[in-house]
Structure 1
Amino acid sequence: MNDIQQLSVEESLHLPAAFTIVIENPYYSDESPWRHDDYFTLGQTIRIGFQASTTADQEFSEPTMNYLIHGEITGIESRFSAESQAPIIVRGYDTSHRLHRGRHNRSFQDYTDSDIVAEIAAQVGLEIGQLDDSGDPRAYVFQENQTNMEFLRYRAARLGFELFVRDGQLYFRRPTADDQLSLKWLQDFGSFQVRVTTAEQVSGVEVRAWDYVGKQAIVSTAQSEETLTESEYGKGSTITADFGLASDPPKAYVVDKPVESAKEADAIAQALFNELGGEFTVADAQAEGNPDIRAGRVATLEDMGQYDGEYYITETRHLYYNRRYTTEFAVRGLRGGNLLGDLMMQPRLRPGQTFLVGIVTNNQDPEDMGRVRVRFPTLSPQADGSGHESNWARVVAIGAGSDRGFQCLPEIEDEVLVGFEHGDIHRPYILGNVWNGEDAPPDTVEDAVNRGKVRLRTLRTRTGHQLQFVEEDYNDSQAGISLETAGGAQVSLNDSTGTITIETPNGHRLSFSDSQGAIKMQSSGGHEISLNDAMQILSIRSTGSLSLQATTSVDIQAIGPITLRGAMVNSFPPPNQPPF
């Protein structure tokens, strides 16, 4: 202990706990010149603790050790001086540093966030200290080239949870006011700097997103912050009315983060409100060495007038230097986790710099350029989105050009994906329509896909006109192309049977069959003309009478016999001609 020049342990609810040890290491010219050289190796586990500076109470007559960190050595330094000194500097972190090593690309399907934390913790060898229930499983979560810590902090931030390691165990929990301690100014701590500020304080937080299953906006509003730090100044959300803003109190909005449910939106809104509310009161303090002052504990501070109250400790620094032990602590709320930053892990984009969901409101372009206007349900506080109708948006179309292209304008109330030229929201483009839980595709997956291959492609209009491309036989449909109008007229090009069929809504039918070598024309009443190459027959059949007329002559020839059958066979000359 006499050779330790400096020892510090820094704890944080938002960063790995870190330790630094500086050890005197003089050089002696003998067989063992370095006294401490073999005591420290990279990767070695270490526990560091302190005893309280004040131990006059008989309760502390026996030495007791409160370990502050269960860590691992990650770095060793030395400085060789001209005075025959080579002090050793040992650095390391608690075991959460393992979560910072390496990046991963992987998916988690049907996992709760708590399940994800437990699985990753097991992979890096971390024990679980506390694992709060995070709610329902999520269908799909992807870790996108992130360290485990980046990924888990993002998951925690969306829930308003804390993620930290204490005493070698991982905690994934809601901020909790347990393990309270009381501290008095000038008795238990000396220096105390506190700031109460209305900056960033709002009356509420609103999260807006799009539910494509229900084809409706998801709107969630948090009305009151839930913070563990509170002095006699109260909460920041109640102060905004003092600035003449009572009629229109300021709110914070999150409009650019997809969420899956109203429940998830509730959690994000509350978490962000808690973070902003935590900025209302921040503080820094210094005390005599006290190992009971730990990150994650609530300290009740007394004898400071209107600053008396409960303060949630988020950071501590225990320092042994020049044979004196001191403790510093800080109150920072959730800002160390910075949900606002975590929600915007990439550079924050304005709405126009990303894609938005749009609902078509107008498709009658006054300039005949095929443009439409949309509303943005995730941006508008109005239920119908009327407050945020877009500028006229050009529609991306197949083969668009001078008097050509596939013209298929979106219908009113269609859901579309909107992009923006150079990220300018004033220059929108419709990239395409999308289906949702209310507007289903024209065919079911069972009909359209067989053994993983798409066998059916359909183009269907609003009234029911339909063009289908069928790749293979399945159920009632066969390979080929079919065209059908909403009124029932049909054209079928059937590759499986080698036929072409045209049929009217009332049943008139014309068919061409390669397999039968026949052409057949039928009326709905049963009249029929049939040409059969295989049987070498041309057949004309009528359910009523049959009339054959010519303006000049009729020539009937046969190599074989000609047969006429009927109840009576009559032969008449043309008008004004003598009989045979």
Structure 2
Amino acid sequence: MSRPGVFDGETTDGGMQGVVVGIVTDNEDPKDLGRVKLQFPWRDADDESYWARLAVPMAGDEYGTYFLPEVDDEVLVAFENGDIHKPYVVGALWNGTQRPPHTNGGQNQDREVRSRSGHRLAFDDSEEGTITIETSAGHEIHIDDSNDRIVVRDDSDKNAIRLDGSKDRISIEAANEIDLSAKTIRLDADKDVTVDAGTSVDVSSRNAIDLSATGQLDLGSNGVMRLNATGPLSIKGAIIRLN
């Protein structure tokens, strides 16, 4: 039997039948168990629930799916064995003031997870077939199946790493500098290696530099070429021609 002036699902002995809507009032769990407190619309505004656990897709010892509702979020609440003292949140609800982050235009091709500050993980299930991870500032990882491409770029779109499967090409672009640092760096190419600079190329070593070729080795300049050594300079060949 319900009491006059209260929710029909609340019985005289404090039991609850079915599921109800609640508004999150507190998500700072003193025991760090990922619980929230709720206010039920049929009760006084200052009447908070007991701490409510969250039903999530996966939960274990320091692993699982962690999406804690924000204060003022609307949620759907059930009760363990109908006990109003043991609520748990089974899901979240959009409403007239808290609207979805995306609309589908009747096609339902898009899936998205968006955080409060605007970070998002988006899936495009159309023929284009893309996955996008983007920060609120615009830094992005974009995986594009239709164009066989993966792009990592910053918010300016001037600095990027592009993996193009259709052309078997990887490109690294920077508006200013590209720095490579490692104990050993090795560049291997089955065909050609080209180094092209707008002004100058500087190659230096604290020990030695070895330039070798199994075939012909050409060193040329359209201007002045200088060979300088603080020690001995040796030139050796089967035939040496100086012109």
TM-score by length of 2: 0.76
CA RMSD for the aligned pairs? 3.2
Superposed displacement of residue 368, structure 1:
0.8
1:402 maps to 2:61: yes
1:439 maps to 2:98: yes
TM-score by length of 1: 0.34
**Residues 146-157 of structure 1: matches in 2 within 5 Å?**
none
State the match for 2:208 in structure 1. 552
State the match for 1:481 in structure 2. 131
State the match for 1:365 in structure 2. 29
Q: How many residue pairs get matched?
A: 220
Q: Secondary structure at the match of 1:419?
A: strand
Larger radius of gyration: 1
Distance in structure 1 (CA, Å) of the matches to 2:232 and 2:20 = 88
Percent sequence identity over matched residues? 31
Q: 1:380 aligns with which of 20, 37, 43?
A: 43
Q: 1:491 aligns with which of 128, 136, 141?
A: 141
1:411 maps to 2:70: yes
Superposed displacement of residue 424, structure 1:
1.0
**Residues 245-324 of structure 1: matches in 2 within 5 Å?**
252-253=4-5, 255-256=7-8
Q: 2:162 aligns with which of 511, 523, 542?
A: 511
Task: Supply the AA of the counterpart residue of 1:255.
Answer: F
Decide whether the 8 Å contact of 2:129 with 2:145 is kept in 1. yes
1:523 maps to 2:182: no
1:254–1:577 distance in 2 versus 1, CA, 3 Å: same
1:537–1:463 distance in 2 versus 1, CA, 3 Å: farther
State the match for 2:121 in structure 1. 467
Task: Supply the AA of the counterpart residue of 1:553.
Answer: I
Greater share of helix? 1
Q: 1:426 aligns with which of 69, 79, 85?
A: 85
Structure of greater relative contact order (alpha carbons < 8 Å, 6+ residues apart): 1
1:541–1:253 distance in 2 versus 1, CA, 3 Å: farther
Distance in structure 2 (CA, Å) of the matches to 1:436 and 1:488 = 28
**Residues 148-297 of structure 1: matches in 2 within 5 Å?**
252-253=4-5, 255-256=7-8
Task: Supply the AA of the counterpart residue of 1:442.
Answer: P
Cα-to-partner distance string for 1:264-312 (whole Å, 9 max, x where unaligned): xxxxxxxxxxxxxxxxxxxxxxxxxxxxxxxxxxxxxxxxxxxxxxxxx
Decide whether the 8 Å contact of 1:360 with 1:415 is kept in 2. yes
Superposed displacement of residue 560, structure 1:
6.8
Any runs of at least 4 consecutive aligned residues in structure 1 with deviations exceeding 6 A, and if so which?
A: none
Distance in structure 2 (CA, Å) of the matches to 1:571 and 1:505 = 46
Decide whether the 8 Å contact of 1:370 with 1:394 is kept in 2. yes
Task: Supply the AA of the counterpart residue of 2:37.
Answer: R
Decide whether the 8 Å contact of 2:6 with 2:43 is kept in 1. no
Segments of 5+ residues of structure 1 without an aligned counterpart are 1-250, 257-347
Q: 1:356 aligns with which of 11, 20, 24?
A: 20
Distance in structure 1 (CA, Å) of the matches to 2:194 and 2:124 = 33
Distance in structure 2 (CA, Å) of the matches to 1:518 and 1:483 = 22
